Amino acid sequence: MRPTSGVLAHASALACALASALALGGCLYGFAGGGLPPGVKTVAVLPFENLTPEPTLTRDIQDAVRDAMEGRLGLRPAGEASADAVVRGTISRYEPDLPVAYQGNANTEVQVTQRLVQITVAVEIVDQRSGRTLWERSSLTLDGNYDPGRELDGRRRAYERLVTNIVEGAQSQW
């Protein structure tokens, strides 16, 4: 056997071992990060303080936020005293009937074809154990377009924007 063939065999074995290590390492690669701290497994979503004349917003927003915390963040519901985290907030403004699209001309009466509901809230997620605020927004304005006479559709769109903001905010902190 010539000396060069031993060197080639050694180089081939080394290349094979290196390729195997890279392949195995590639299988173990993963993305870590995002989400709430590992100790946060349960949540209490408190009724939002409502400074508007629309009383149904309190319950609607609490239900939407609780569903998102459980369904999209995987947290279990708990009472305020025993929860790992608490979500609380204030509803400061509600504009249910803003016209945004019109139809008509100079000879006819103008008709509103699309309306907008706007809701402004302050919201925070607090880690109960440390007392630390995990995420907060002090003035979050959410809107939802709707056809005239279908205000609840606009509200649902605004609620969805609220929970998307909360979920994305909570996930981006870590």
Boundaries of every domain in the chain: 1-30, 35-172
What are the φ and ψ backbone dihedral angles of 87, each rounded to 5 degrees? Answer: -110, 125
The residue written with tokens 């699209």 in the block is: 101
Q: What end-to-end distance do the CA atoms of the chain give, in Å?
A: 59
pLDDT in tens, 40-95: 999 999 999 999 999 999 999 999 999 999 999 999 999 999 999 999 999 999 99
Amino acid symbol at 104: G
What is the structure's pLDDT at 18?
A: 45
Q: pLDDT averaged over the chain?
A: 82
Give the span between the Cα atoms of 158 and 65, in whole angstroms: 12
Topology of domain 35-172, per CATH? Answer: Rossmann fold (3.40.50)
What is the structure's pLDDT at 56?
A: 95
The pair of structure tokens assigned to 63 is 């239900």
Handedness of CA 116, 144, 124, 32 (dihedral sign): negative
Which helix H or strand E contains 94, and what residues bound it? strand 85-103
Q: Exposure of 154 by Cβ count < 10 A (0-12 exposed, 13-18 middle, 19+ buried)? A: buried
What are the φ and ψ backbone dihedral angles of 71, each rounded to 5 degrees? Answer: -80, -40
What is the pTM for the complete model shown? Answer: 0.73
